[in-house]
Amino acid sequence: MSMPRYTLTLWRIAVFIAALVPLAYWSSQVAINAAGPEPGRYLLLNIGQGILWMLLLTLSLTPLTKLTRWKGFTLIRRQLGLWTLTYALLHLFCYAVFILGLDLSRLGSEIVRRPYIIVGMLALTGLIVMGVTSNKWSMRKLGKRWKTLHKIVYLVLGLGLLHFLWVVRADLEQWSLYAAVGALLMILRLPPIARQLPKFRQLIKRPGQARA
């Protein structure tokens, strides 16, 4: 599907702004005192779910591209990946600053002592590794290994869900929804199923796509 260049640029800017909206909204809730008596934890938890949103959206781009062949989805993959990392860093920031009051010795001891935090840190490390190798230079340098390296995104998804599962206290409904979407996205990557995706395109064909 061909589109003018500027449309794609606008699309990328729109995605950028859309990714900022939740952060702006949560911050405004804190600013107007509508985030409850523990605003730091409000941000921590919301941003924590935000990481999963970003991660799942990032992982949905490849199947969406297969379904639609629209290159706009591929174009925002790196951006959404970096948003996932940004949210994760903000989540860690909330924890260290708003929950622990920047008590670094406690941060250190909590990181080594609590399994759910260890798992979170592992996931964050994976995101950081992908983030710093998300540039053209690294892609050239790593060649084929780049693709292999970025498969750790699946590990990050698993670790993120495990971390969340450990946080959940009494009701698994929300967690199950994230896990179900994650599982669906993984299934869509299984080669026999991934191969079928372009065929579905015929079913959802719209006039614009017919010319692609």
Partner 1 sequence: MLIKIAKPGDLRESDVTPESVYLSRRRFMGGLAGVGAGLALAGRAQAAASDYQDVPAGNPPGWFKPKLENAEWDSVVPADRELDKLTPFEDATHYNNFYEFGTGKSDPARNADSLETQPWSVVIDGEVANGGRFDLEDIAKPSRLQERIYRLRCVEAWSMVIPWLGIPLGDVIKRAEPTSKAKYVKFETLVAPDQMPGQDSSFALIDWPYTEGLRMDEAMHPLAILGLGMYGRELPNQNGAPFRLIVPWKYGFKSIKSIVRISLVEEQPVNSWQAIAPDEYGFYANVNPKVDHPRWSQATERRLPNSLFNPNIIDTRMFNGYADEVASLYQGMDLRKSF
- For partner 1, the binding residues in 146-205 under the rule CB under 8 A are 166-167, 169-174, 176
C-alpha to C-alpha distance for 91 and 31, rounded to whole angstroms: 18
* Choice from 7, 9, 25, 38 touching partner 1 (CB under 8 A): 38
The 103-132 contact track toward ligand HEM, x by CB under 6 A, reads --------x-----x--xx-xx--x-----
What is the greatest pairwise CA distance in the chain?
Answer: 60
- Give which of partner 1, ligand HEM, none residue 95 binds (C-beta under 5 to 8 Å, depending on kind): ligand HEM
Q: Is 48 in the site for ligand HEM (CB under 6 A)?
A: yes
Q: Any idea what DSSP says for residue 1?
A: -
Contact window for ligand HEM (CB under 6 A) among 65-73, 90-98, 185-193, 197-205: 90-98
Contact window for ligand HEM (CB under 6 A) among 1-9, 27-35, 142-150, 156-164: 156-164
Nearest to partner 1 of 40, 158 (CB atom): 40
C-alpha to C-alpha distance for 212 and 210, rounded to whole angstroms: 5
Q: How far from 178 is each of 162, 165, 203, CA to CA, in Å?
A: 11, 10, 27
Buried b / exposed e over 56-82, threshold 16 CB at 10 Å, is bbbbbbbbbbbbbebebbebbbeebbb
DSSP-assigned letters across all residues of 180-193: HHHHHHHHTTSHHH
Q: Interface with partner 1 by CB under 8 A: which residues? A: 30, 36-41, 43, 97-101, 103, 106, 110, 114-116, 166-167, 169-174, 176
